[in-house]
């Protein structure tokens, strides 16, 4: 999941692969549970029995379920059309279980894109976090820092680039303390570019493994703020030519179709490499992830399924697709 380049993880198990099976199961059980908690989810649950009798109503029901999961009309239409076509043409048997299995496959295909790894192979690797207000940027990078530092034994420098929101730096400081990471911060209202510059220079000076730069939440419609973000990126790029090596956008799972605009506009401003879907532990299914990967080709890389540190997980398209439909 995370490309560490030549660096060897110094201690403990990496994030995913070698985690004990029990814990892994626990996490996905939790993901599934959380995805199905709402009454709504139960009402529109797509089980194999839905496909026992296939007629227009079946496809309508499926459409409804996907739209209610925020997958969005165009992607929903494409998925349903594809499945319907395959069933009609006899490519897959018109029986409940095979159709359901194929549906999960199609959804997983939609959710998968190339370059799904988080690239932290450079030294120091610079990771920049962007996104709309309140989507969970600071919390997410706090968790990322914790994983990198506590599980991979990497040295992490965090830059409190959110100089706008009151107490944002304090929030990050709290996370830096928990993760044992170094925090670089500026004055409230300071230029975020200068904070990013200081953080990255500190990372270079101390030969840190990873520098994580937080930014203030901003609406993608505010051109001046988007320009400011582009400037932060340029400032970082001046210190290390390829940096930031990884730019992630956090998108709240409850976000509707506007998430597509967010991903698109942020990507235009700062070349987003991946999406973090946060707050998936609610009843929202975060179907916007499918819309973003299918319409924009930006991969989802991480998901947040709870408030605990280990609840920040790598994104697995197959598991996600299954959870989207399962009980």
Partner 1 sequence: MFDQLSDRLQSTLSDVRSRGKLSEGDIDSAMRDIRLALLEADVNFKVVKAFTKTLKERCLGAEVMDSLDPGQQVVKIVNEELADLMGGEGVELTMASSGPTVILMAGLQGSGKTTACAKLASYFKKQRKDVALAACDVYRPAAVEQLVTMGQRAGAHVYEKGTDADPVDIATWALERAREERRDVLVIDTAGRLHIDQDLMKELSRIRDKTKPDDVLLVVDAMTGQDAVGVAESFAEAAEFDGVVMTKLDGDARGGAALSVKAVTGKPIMFASTGEKIEDFDRFHPDRMAQRILGMGDVLTLIEKAESQVDEKSAEELEEKLKKDQFTLEDFLTQMKQVRKMGPLSGIIGMLPGMGAMKELKNANIDERQLDRTEAIILSMTPAERHDPTLIKGRRRKRIADGSGTKVQEVRALVKQFDQMRVMMRSMANGKMPDPQKLMRMSGQVPKPKVRRR
User: Can you give the binding site for partner 1, defined by CB under 8 A?
Assistant: 34, 37-40, 64, 67-70, 72-74, 132-136, 164-168, 170-171, 173-175, 219-223, 252, 254-262, 279, 281-285, 287-288, 295
Of 117 and 261, which has the nearer Cβ to partner 1? 261
Q: Are 267 and 277 in contact (CB under 8 A)?
A: no
Of 120 and 132, which has the nearer Cβ to partner 1? 132
Of 40 and 121, which has the nearer Cβ to partner 1? 40
Strands 156-159 and 182-184: parallel
Partners of 124 in beta bridges: none
- Least Å distance, CB 93 to partner 1, is 30
- Least Å distance, CB 269 to partner 1, is 12
- Least Å distance, CB 11 to partner 1, is 26
- Least Å distance, CB 277 to partner 1, is 12
Residue written as token pair 């506007």 = 258
Reading the block at residue 132, the tokens are: 């709309």
Which residues lie below 8 Å from residue 117, measured CB to CB, with a gap of 6+? Answer: 1, 2, 3, 301
Of 125 and 263, which has the nearer Cβ to partner 1? 263
- Least Å distance, CB 222 to partner 1, is 8
Reading the block at residue 290, the tokens are: 């499918």
Of 220 and 245, which has the nearer Cβ to partner 1? 220
Task: Name the phi and psi angles at 247, rounded to 5.
Answer: -115, 120
Angstrom distance (rounded) from CA 214 to CA 196: 8
């Amino acid at each position: 999941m995370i490309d560490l380049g030549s660096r060897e993880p110094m201690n403990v198990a990496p994030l995913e692969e070698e985690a004990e099976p029990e814990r892994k199961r626990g996490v996905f059980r939790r993901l599934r549970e959380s995805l199905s908690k709402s009454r709504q989810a139960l009402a529109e649950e797509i089980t194999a029995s839905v496909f026992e009798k296939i007629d227009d109503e079946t496809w309508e029901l499926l459409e409804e379920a996907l739209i209610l999961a925020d997958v969005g009309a165009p992607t929903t239409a494409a998925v349903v059309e594809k499945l319907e076509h395959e069933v009609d043409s006899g490519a897959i048997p018109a029986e409940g279980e095979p159709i359901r299995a194929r549906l999960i496959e199609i959804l997983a295909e939609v959710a998968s894109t190339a370059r799904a790894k988080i690239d932290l192979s450079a030294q120091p690797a610079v990771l920049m976090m962007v996104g709309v207000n309140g989507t969970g940027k600071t919390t997410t990078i706090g968790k990322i820092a914790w994983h990198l530092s506590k599980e991979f034994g990497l040295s992490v420098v965090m830059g409190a680039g959110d100089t706008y929101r009151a107490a944002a730096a304090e929030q990050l400081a709290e996370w830096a303390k928990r993760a044992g990471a170094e925090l670089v911060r500026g004055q409230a209202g300071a230029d975020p570019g200068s904070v990013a510059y200081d953080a990255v220079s500190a990372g270079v000076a101390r030969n840190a493994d990873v520098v994580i730069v937080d930014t203030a939440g901003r609406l993608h419609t505010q051109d001046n703020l988007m320009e400011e973000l582009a400037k932060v990126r340029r400032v970082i790029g001046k210190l290390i030519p390829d940096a930031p090596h990884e730019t992630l956008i956090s998108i709240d799972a409850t976000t509707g179709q506007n998430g597509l605009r967010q991903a698109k506009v942020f990507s235009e401003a700062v070349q987003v490499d991946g999406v973090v879907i946060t707050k998936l532990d609610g009843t929202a299914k975060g179907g916007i992830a499918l819309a973003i990967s299918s319409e924009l080709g930006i991969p989802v890389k991480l998901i947040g399924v709870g408030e605990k540190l280990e609840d920040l997980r790598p994104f697995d398209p197959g598991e996600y697709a299954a959870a989207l439909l399962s009980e």
